[in-house]
Chain A
Amino acid sequence: MEMLSGAEMVIRSLQDQGVERIYGYPGGSVLDIYDALFQQSSIEHVLVRHEQAAVHMADGYSRATGEVGTVLVTSGPGATNCITGIATAYMDSIPMVLISGQVPTTMIGEDAFQETDMIGVSRPVVKHSFLCKNVEDLPTIIKKAYYIASTGRPGPVVVDIPKDIMNPALKFPYEYPTSVSLRSYNPTQQGHKKQIRKALKTLIEAKRPIIYAGGGAVWNDTPALIKQLATHIGCPVTNTLMGLGVFPGTDEQFVGMLGMHGTLEANKSMHFSDVIFAIGVRFDDRTTNNLEKYCPNSTIIHIDIDPTSISKTVNADIPIVGYAHNVLTAMLEMINDENLQNNKADIETWWKQINEWRDKKCLGYETSEESLKPQQVVEAMYKATNGDAYVCSDVGQHQMFAALYYPFDKPGRWINSGGLGTMGFGLPAAMGVQMEFPDSTVVCITGDGSIQMNIQELSTCLQYDLPIKIIILNNHALGMVKQWQDMVYKGRHSHSYWDSVPDFVKLAEAYGHVGIKVDKPAELEGALERCFSLKDKLVVMDIAVDELEHVYPMLVKYGAMNEMYLSKTERT
Chain B
Amino acid sequence: MSRTVISLIIENESGATSRIVGLFSQRGYNIESLTVAATQDSSLSRMTLVTRGEPRVIEQIMKQLNKLINVLRVSELTASDYIEQEISLVKVACIGSKRDEVCRLVDIFNAKIIDATPKMYTVRLFGDGNKLDAFVKQVEQTSEIIEVVRSGVIGISRGEKALRA
Contacts and interface: CB of A to CB of B under 8 A. Distances in A.
Given A308-B63, A312-B60, A184 B72 contact: yes
A459 interface: no
Interface stretch (B12-20, B118-126, B129-137, B147-155): B12-20
B88 to A, nearest CB: 32
Contacts of A148: 69
A131 interface: yes
B64 interface: yes
Contacts of A312: 60
Interface string B46-71: 00000000001001100110110111
A184 B19 contact: no
A120 B59 contact: no
Interface stretch (A80-88, A122-130, A511-519, A564-572): A122-130
Nearest to A182: B69
Given A124-B26, A184-B71, A308 B15 contact: no
A183 B67 CA distance: 13
Contacts of A306: 67
Contacts of B71: 184
A148 B68 CA distance: 11
Contacts of B15: 119, 129, 131
16 contacts: A119-B15, A127-B69, A129-B15, A131-B14, A148-B69, A183-B72, A184-B71, A184-B72, A306-B67, A307-B63, A307-B67, A308-B60, A308-B64, A308-B67, A310-B63, A311-B56
A184 B67 CA distance: 9
B122 to A, nearest CB: 34
B66 to A, nearest CB: 7
Interface string A147-190: 01000000000000000000000000000000000111100000
Contact of A184 (B11, B56, B60, B63): B11
Interface class of chain A by DSSP: mixed
Nearest to A306: B67
A148 B69 CA distance: 9
Contact of B70 (A119, A131, A184): A184
A93 B19 CA distance: 19
Contacts of A127: 69
Contacts of A307: 63, 66-67
Contacts of B26: 124
Contacts of B14: 131
Interface of B: 10-11, 14-15, 18-19, 22, 26, 56, 59-60, 63-64, 66-67, 69-72, 165
B102 to A, nearest CB: 44
Given A183-B72, A184-B11, 5 more contacts: A123-B22, A148-B69, A184-B69, A184-B72, A307-B63
Contacts of A183: 72, 165
B165 to A, nearest CB: 7
A562 B140 CA distance: 61
Contacts of B66: 307
Interface class of chain B by DSSP: helix
Interface residues of A, number: 19
A65 B67 CA distance: 26
Contacts of B63: 307-308, 310
B59 A311 contact: yes
Contact of A128 (B10, B18, B69): B69
A75 to B, nearest CB: 17
| Residue with the greatest number of chain A CB neighbours at <10 A, chosen from B15, B26, B165 | B15
Given A306-B67, A307-B66, A123 B11 contact: no
Contacts of B69: 127-128, 148, 182, 184-185
Nearest to A120: B18
Contacts of B19: 123
Contacts of B67: 306-308
The 10 A-B residue pairs with the shortest CB-CB distance in the complex, in nearest-first order: A128-B69, A184-B72, A308-B63, A307-B63, A124-B26, A185-B69, A123-B22, A308-B64, A308-B67, A184-B71
Contacts of B72: 183-184
B143 to A, nearest CB: 42
Contacts of A128: 69
Contacts of A131: 14-15
A56 B101 CA distance: 69
Contacts of B60: 308, 312
| Residue with the greatest number of chain A CB neighbours at <10 A, chosen from B10, B56, B63 | B63
A123 B72 CA distance: 19
A128 B69 CA distance: 7
A423 to B, nearest CB: 23
A124 B22 contact: yes
Contacts of A129: 15
Contacts of B70: 184
Contacts of B18: 120, 123
A216 to B, nearest CB: 15
A124 B23 CA distance: 7
Interface string A281-314: 0000000000000000000000000111011100
Contacts of B56: 311
Interface in A94-139: 119-120, 123-124, 127-129, 131
Nearest to A119: B15
A308 B56 CA distance: 11
Interface in A224-262: none
A308 B63 CA distance: 5
Nearest to A125: B26
Interface in A525-564: none
A120 B17 CA distance: 12
A311 B69 CA distance: 21
A131 B60 CA distance: 28
A312 B66 CA distance: 15
A120 B22 CA distance: 9
Nearest to A310: B63
A131 B15 CA distance: 9
A129 B14 CA distance: 11
A182 B13 CA distance: 14
